């Protein structure tokens, strides 16, 4: 099943926002784009991470899920020096049901943003 919502950025390539298969939701990496304008939101890692999490929450909501369903995240940072500030914002999304996570520094992200996050969530 394909998940699509107008409250998260449209796919800008040959992919979907998210797909449910075998009891899991696999969401494409989300970058800090405003769903209405398609423009990058914020210049700081905190502002951009906040927008990324809003986009992820919109996808989860479209699938009738919450952050508690997220079992794994992969976080791509343009600069690992932003790790502490990123973590402060990232932690606001989750209760005590923290997902497994990978966080890596990458050379470049789409639209030269500072952060991209992809998730896997349990549906059942």
Q: Model-level pTM?
A: 0.95
The number of angstroms, rounded, from the C-alpha of 17 to the middle of its chain's C-alpha atoms is 10
Burial status of residue 34 (CB atoms within 10 A of its CB: 0-12, 13-18, 19 or more): middle
Q: Which helix (H) or strand (E) holds 88?
A: helix 83-90
Q: What is the C-alpha separation between 16 and 2, in angstroms, rounded?
A: 7
**Cα dihedral angle (35, 27, 4, 91), rounded to 10 degrees?**
-50
pLDDT in tens, the chain (124 residues): 999 999 999 988 899 999 999 999 999 999 999 999 999 999 999 999 999 999 999 999 999 999 999 999 999 999 999 999 999 999 999 988 999 999 999 999 999 999 999 999 999 7
The DSSP result for 33-72, as a single string, is B-TTT-PBP-SSHHHHHHHHHHHHHHHHHHTT--GGGEEE
Token pair for 90: 């990232």
């Amino acid at each position: 099943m394909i998940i699509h919502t107008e409250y998260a950025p449209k796919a800008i390539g040959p992919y979907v926002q998210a797909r449910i298969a075998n009891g899991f939701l696999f969401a494409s990496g989300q970058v800090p784009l405003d769903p209405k304008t398609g423009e990058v939101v914020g210049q700081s890692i905190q502002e951009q991470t906040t927008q990324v999490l809003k986009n992820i929450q919109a996808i989860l909501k479209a699938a009738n899920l919450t952050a508690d369903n997220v079992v794994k995240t992969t976080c791509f940072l343009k600069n690992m020096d932003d790790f502490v500030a990123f973590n402060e914002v990232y932690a606001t999304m989750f209760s005590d049901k923290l997902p497994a996570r990978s966080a890596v520094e990458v050379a470049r992200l789409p639209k030269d943003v500072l952060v991209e996050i992809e998730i896997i969530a349990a549906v059942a």
